[in-house]
């Protein structure tokens, strides 16, 4: 019995010996590690591009006023400010921004001031620039936010209906009409609406964001704000709705030729389900991209529309700052607008990654 070997014993012993001779496995997956490293690099490049753009904006906002000939304080605040400022305020601002020191020390003081929310002092309003901008910013956010949402939703709905009825009378009418409106600048559309509905018919107010000294509260106050908002909002929406409409229409025409649409029809889905649930949903991603590209145009368009309607937003504030040559206020407004555009594009890109994970792998 001692010298007898059971069947399969030799092969089992050989397997055990081969396992001892093999190098131990560490648990390292090369392909998975490479994929994670490449994903981290792509994400780092994604955020680094935005950081570089932000750094360039900060640098230009710092360098350009100081490249002008003469005293840096005079270049930043202008001659009018020197006449209106007291010696104590001038000495305080010179010390705060280190204008009597070297360029490197001034840049450090500039960055530290921005980090603390100090954009300078507006001599016209005799307040801090950030406080002045925050007083006017809610009206601009209300105007641009509603214009962006309404133009995007209206463009999507009209694009879905037009693409679903390609070549019919509704499609031809919408395409011609919206292409015609798209050719007008925002401020020109605002002037037309102001003259027609404000001056001739007297339907909309000529200026302002609410009726002064009205004493309204609650729902009447909200209706009064919407009444003043109607004309500038319509001007922005009529010009901006075309981009979302065209993109949705083209996507609908392409999507309706896909095989899953034929499958939905074969299953007996209704026309409404095919139009919105199947074909319309696939038109969402391109519209998100178009919305991100539309944000800078809506912001810049709102700046001009606010001037036309004397709407008390950041655009109207910028116009007054240009008239009074309030240079710190001008720089603060331009800096905040450019940063807002960068943040909006960043949020749209992140939302796009969530909606379609294939984008992150493609990049």
Q: What is the pLDDT along the chain (363 residues), one digit of tens a residue?
A: 445 554 555 555 555 455 544 445 445 555 666 666 666 666 666 677 778 888 888 888 777 766 766 566 666 666 666 666 778 877 777 777 666 777 777 778 778 888 887 887 787 787 888 889 999 999 999 999 999 999 989 988 888 888 888 888 888 998 888 888 888 888 899 999 999 998 888 888 888 888 887 777 888 888 988 999 999 999 999 988 888 888 888 888 888 777 777 777 777 777 777 777 777 777 777 777 777 778 878 888 888 999 999 899 998 998 888 887 777 888 888 888 888 888 877 777 777 666 655 555 445
Q: How many CA atoms lie within 13 A of 297 on its CB side?
A: 17
The whole domain housing 222 covers 136-362
Query: Could you tell me which residues are beta bridge partners of residue 128?
Result: 121
Query: Could you tell me which residues are beta bridge partners of residue 127?
Result: 122
**CATH code for position 249:** 1.10.3720.10
Q: Are residues 62 and 188 part of one domain?
A: no
Q: Are residues 148 and 63 part of one domain?
A: no
Question: Total domain count for the chain?
Answer: 2
pTM (global) more than 0.85: no
Q: Are residues 142 and 114 part of one domain?
A: no
Beta-carbon contacts of residue 319 (< 8 Å; ≥ 6 apart): 306, 307
Q: How far apart are CA 74 and CA 11, in angstroms?
A: 92
Flag whether 206 is in a domain. yes
Flag whether 81 is in a domain. yes
Q: Are residues 279 and 143 part of one domain?
A: yes
Q: How many residues does the chain have?
A: 363
Q: Are residues 142 and 75 part of one domain?
A: no
Q: Are residues 52 and 167 part of one domain?
A: no
Give the end of a domain, one of 118, 150, 170. Answer: 118
Flag whether 313 is in a domain. yes
Beta-carbon contacts of residue 208 (< 8 Å; ≥ 6 apart): 228, 310, 311, 312
Q: Are residues 172 and 227 part of one domain?
A: yes
Flag whether 65 is in a domain. yes
Angle formed by the axes of helices 219-255 and 169-182, to 10°? 120
Flag whether 38 is in a domain. no
Angle formed by the axes of helices 327-355 and 314-324, to 10°? 150
Flag whether 40 is in a domain. no
Flag whether 36 is in a domain. no
Which DSSP helix (H) or strand (E) runs through 127?
A: strand 127-128
């Amino acid at each position: 019995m001692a010298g007898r070997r059971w069947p399969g014993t030799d092969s089992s012993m050989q397997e055990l010996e081969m396992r001892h001779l093999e190098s131990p496995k560490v648990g390292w997956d090369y392909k998975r590690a490479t994929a994670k490293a490449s994903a981290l690099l792509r994400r780092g490049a994604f955020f680094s591009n935005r950081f570089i753009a932000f750094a360039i904006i900060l640098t230009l906002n710092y360098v350009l006023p100081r490249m002008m000939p003469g005293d840096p304080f005079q270049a930043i605040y202008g001659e009018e400010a020197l006449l209106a400022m007291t010696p104590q305020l001038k000495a305080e601002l010179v010390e705060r921004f280190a204008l009597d020191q070297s360029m490197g020390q001034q840049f450090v003081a500039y960055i530290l001031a921005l980090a603390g929310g100090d954009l300078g002092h507006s001599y016209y309003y005799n307040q801090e620039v950030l406080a002045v901008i925050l007083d006017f910013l809610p009206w601009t956010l209300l105007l641009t936010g509603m214009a962006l949402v309404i133009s995007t939703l209206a463009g999507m709905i009209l694009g879905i209906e037009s693409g679903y009825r390609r070549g019919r009378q509704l499609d031809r009418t919408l395409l011609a009409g919206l292409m015609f409106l798209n050719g007008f600048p925002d401020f020109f559309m605002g002037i037309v609406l102001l003259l027609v509905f404000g001056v001739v018919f007297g339907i909309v107010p000529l200026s302002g964001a609410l009726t002064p000294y009205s004493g309204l509260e609650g729902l009447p106050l909200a209706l009064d704000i919407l009444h003043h908002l109607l004309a500038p909002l319509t001007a922005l929406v009529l010009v901006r709705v075309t981009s979302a409409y065209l993109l949705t229409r083209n996507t609908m025409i392409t999507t309706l030729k896909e095989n899953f649409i034929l499958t939905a029809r074969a299953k007996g889905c209704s026309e409404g389900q095919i139009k919105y649930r199947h074909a319309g949903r696939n038109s969402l991603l391109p519209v998100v991209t178009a919305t991100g590209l539309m944000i800078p145009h809506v912001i810049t368009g709102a700046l001009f529309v606010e001037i036309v309607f004397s709407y008390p937003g950041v655009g109207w504030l910028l116009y007054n700052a240009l008239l009074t040559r309030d240079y710190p206020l001008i720089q603060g407004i331009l800096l905040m607008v450019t940063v807002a555009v960068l943040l909006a594009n960043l949020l749209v890109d992140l939302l796009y990654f969530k909606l379609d994970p294939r984008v992150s792998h493609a990049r």
